[in-house]
Amino acid sequence: MNRIAFAAALLASAAPLAAETHRIEAGEGAAARLQEALILAQPGDVIELGEGRIALTDGLSLDVDGVTLRGAGMDKSVLDFTGQQGAGEGLLVTSDNVTLHGFGIENPKGDGIKSKGADNIIYNSIRVEWTGGPKATNGAYGIYPVESTGVLVTRSKVIGASDAGIYVGQSRDITVRGNLVEFNVAGIEIENSRNALVENNIATHNTGGLLVFDLPGLPVMNGGNVILRENVVKDNDTPNFAPPGNIVASVRRGTGVLVMANDGVLIENNAFEGNATAHIMVIAYTQPYEDARYNPYARNVIVGPNAFGRGGDDPQLDGKEMLLEAFGGALPPVLWDGIVEDGNGLMIAEGVTGWTLNLSKPGQSLAEAQPGPLMLTPLESWQFPEVGAPAELEARLK
């Protein structure tokens, strides 16, 4: 955010009395009225959606700083994109200090809500849903902040995304708290991002629950400093319905947490249950790549204390029968590929059990795996930085 924008934000927050509220009721011409209000809004204004459904044929967009778009509730004020004919998402936000609150988005043709280069954004009590259930023809991402600093996604719900329900990409200073993600390919995905706190979410009936990825060839890389804490990751049992070609199409049904590459991930105090492949999987990036800036290793990944229930009992892996037999009917909770860059790979707390593929370099064929139990010396303690969205976002929620 440049200095002038920052000054404008300060002014906007210092002078709330000047802000206006524009109310949009459903009915004749509502889509055009809403888009016009989004265009003509001044910083600090509130655009209020009445109860009811608004049908849209085109994507909406907001490019004014400091605007609040607020509905009567995620099931009461609904933007219906079933008949969408254009644009890549339902709502596109490209301005800073925006608050989205209390409305639903249904059946967008592409992504649900995308915010790009939109610093300090709040998604609060938003629902994005593809109402026909999991389908490859559903849009990719439900809630999709990207290239942003300061992101808070809370009390929201995403159902049916053919990629990730909540996807935060190429961003910093992120909190994803208290959301429900179900029947998506990936419930929540933090990709090529730093300083992310993912806590108190429920990820259930996805293909994979919580994903932390770092991918090559992108403008922003070196993802890390991610905390996954106090989430319920349960029964992620939906067959993968991602369109082939996408990285999440390779996620195995029944994956609880998947960490791929990244520097610094802490997984603690979560409850895992019913993830048939693995509650936690930690791996290096698997594909060939040409990008000198990229580090494919999973580094400094700490699995602290977690509650591990039933899981690993129907792994979607080659040699499943043999593996189950070797491990006595169910695989232990943590699956690691064994690939270490420099003595800083996977670390575990006392009592965490797992198994490793005992591979040695990124991209190595799974055929060369030599599965065996995880033999790591448990950590007695660890240091991890405090991460998450800036305090001003938390303050704005209140």
Partner 1 sequence: MRPARALLAAAVLALGGAMAHGTVLEPPPVNDTAIAGAAFPKTLSEFGFFQDGRAQDPAARVHAYALNTPLWSDGAEKLRFIYLPEGARLTADGEGLLQFPVGAAIIKTFAFGEGAERRLIETRVLLHRAEGWVALPYRWNAEQTEATLALAGGRIDLTTPAGEAISYAIPNKNQCKTCHSKDGAVIPIGPKARNLSVKWMGEMLKAGRLDRLPPGAATMPVWAGYTDQSPAEPFARAYLDVNCAHCHQPGGGASNSGLDLRWEQSDPHAIGIMKRPVAAGRGAGGHDFSVLPGQPDASILLYRMDSAEPGIAMPELGKASVDKDGVAVVRRWIAEMQR
Per CB under 8 A, 38 contacts partner 1: yes
Per CB under 8 A, 250 contacts partner 1: no
* Interaction mask 258-287, partner 1, x per CB under 8 A: -----------------------------x
Residue environment code for 304-331, b if the CB has 16+ CB neighbours within 10 A, otherwise e: bebebeebbebbbbeeeeebbeebeeeb
Distance CA 281, CA 82 (A): 36
**Residue among 16, 21, 36, 363 that touches partner 1 (CB under 8 A):** 36
Per CB under 8 A, 371 contacts partner 1: no
Per CB under 8 A, 35 contacts partner 1: yes
Provide the CA 153 distance to its chain's centre, in angstroms: 9
Residue in 374, 202, 379, 372 with CA at minimum distance from that of residue 300: 379
Q: How far is the CB of 129 from partner 1 (least distance, A)?
A: 16
The pairing of strands 354-356 and 372-373 is antiparallel
Give how far Cα 341 sits from Cα of 51, 194, 242, Å. 54, 20, 31
Q: Stretches 7-15, 142-150, 299-307, 360-368: which one binds partner 1 (CB under 8 A)?
A: 142-150
Task: Count residues binding partner 1 (CB under 8 A).
Answer: 54
Which residues sit opposite 197 in a β-bridge? 175, 227
Amino acid making up residue 312: G
Per CB under 8 A, 219 contacts partner 1: yes
Q: How far is the CB of 134 from partner 1 (least distance, A)?
A: 13
- Give the length of the chain: 398
Q: Stretches 109-117, 200-208, 254-262, 368-376: which one binds partner 1 (CB under 8 A)?
A: 109-117
Binding positions for partner 1, 46-65, rule CB under 8 A: 57-59, 61-63
**Residue among 16, 27, 132, 217 that touches partner 1 (CB under 8 A):** 217
Per CB under 8 A, 146 contacts partner 1: yes
Per CB under 8 A, 290 contacts partner 1: yes
Nearer to partner 1, 11 or 322 (CB): 11
Q: Is 128:151 a contact under the CB 8 Å cutoff?
A: no
Q: Stretches 82-90, 256-264, 349-357, 390-398: which one binds partner 1 (CB under 8 A)?
A: 82-90
Nearer to partner 1, 115 or 300 (CB): 115
Give how far Cα 30 sits from Cα of 25, 34, 74, 255, 324, Å. 7, 6, 18, 42, 57
Q: Stretches 218-226, 265-273, 276-284, 374-382: which one binds partner 1 (CB under 8 A)?
A: 218-226
Distance CA 264, CA 224 (A): 5
* End-to-end Cα spacing for the chain: 23
Q: Is 127:157 a contact under the CB 8 Å cutoff?
A: yes
Q: Enumerate binding residues for partner 1 (CB under 8 A).
A: 31-33, 35-36, 38-40, 57-59, 61-63, 84-88, 92, 94, 108-111, 116-117, 136-141, 144, 146-147, 162-163, 167, 169-170, 215, 217-220, 243-247, 287, 290-291
